[in-house]
Amino acid sequence: MSAPENNYIWNCWYAAAWAHEVESAGKLERTFLDKPVVMFRGESGRYVALDNRCCHRAAPLSMGRVEGDCIRCMYHGLKFNSDGICVEIPGQDKIPATHRVRSYPVEERGNLLWIWMGDPNLADPNDIIDYEPLTNPEWQGLPQEAYLHYDCNWMLIIDNLADFSHLAFVHTNTLGGSEAYAVETKQEIERLDNGFQFERWHRESAPAPYHVKAYPNGPDVVDRRNYVQMFVPGVFLMETAFGPVGWDQSDDQSDVKQYRNCQYMTPETGSTAHFFWNYLRNYEQSDESISISLRDSLLEGFWEDKVIIEAQQKLLELDDPFQPRGIAADSALAHFRKTWDTLLEKDHTEHPQPVAEVSRSIL
Q: Identify the pLDDT of residue 25.
A: 81
Q: CA-CA distance, 201 to 142, in Å (whole number)?
A: 25
Q: Identify the pLDDT of residue 2.
A: 42
Structural domains of the chain, ranges and CATH numbers in brackets: 9-126 (2.102.10.10), 139-346 (3.90.380.10)
Q: Identify the pLDDT of residue 1.
A: 39
Q: Single out the residue of 229, 228, 279, 230 nearest to residue 257, CA to CA.
A: 279
Q: What is the mean pLDDT of each run of 10 residues along the chain (363 residues)?
A: 69 98 92 98 96 98 97 98 98 96 98 98 97 96 97 95 77 66 69 94 89 92 94 97 88 87 97 98 95 94 93 95 89 94 96 86 87
Q: Single out the residue of 308, 144, 299 nearest to residue 210, CA to CA.
A: 299
Q: CA-CA distance, 159 to 120, in Å (whole number)?
A: 29
Planar angle of CA 343, 194, 17, nearest 5 degrees: 90
Question: Strands across the sheet with 13-18, in order?
Answer: 13-18, 112-116, 106-109
| Residue 204 falls in which region: left (phi positive, over 0), alpha (psi -120 to 50) or beta | left
Q: Identify the pLDDT of residue 28.
A: 97
Q: Identify the pLDDT of residue 253.
A: 81
Planar angle of CA 314, 117, 337, nearest 5 degrees: 50
Q: CA-CA distance, 348 to 14, in Å (whole number)?
A: 17
Q: Identify the pLDDT of residue 11.
A: 98
357 DSSP assignment: P
SS3 content of the chain, % helix, strand, coil (to 5): 30, 30, 40
> Is-cis flag, bond preceding 233, omega within 30?
yes
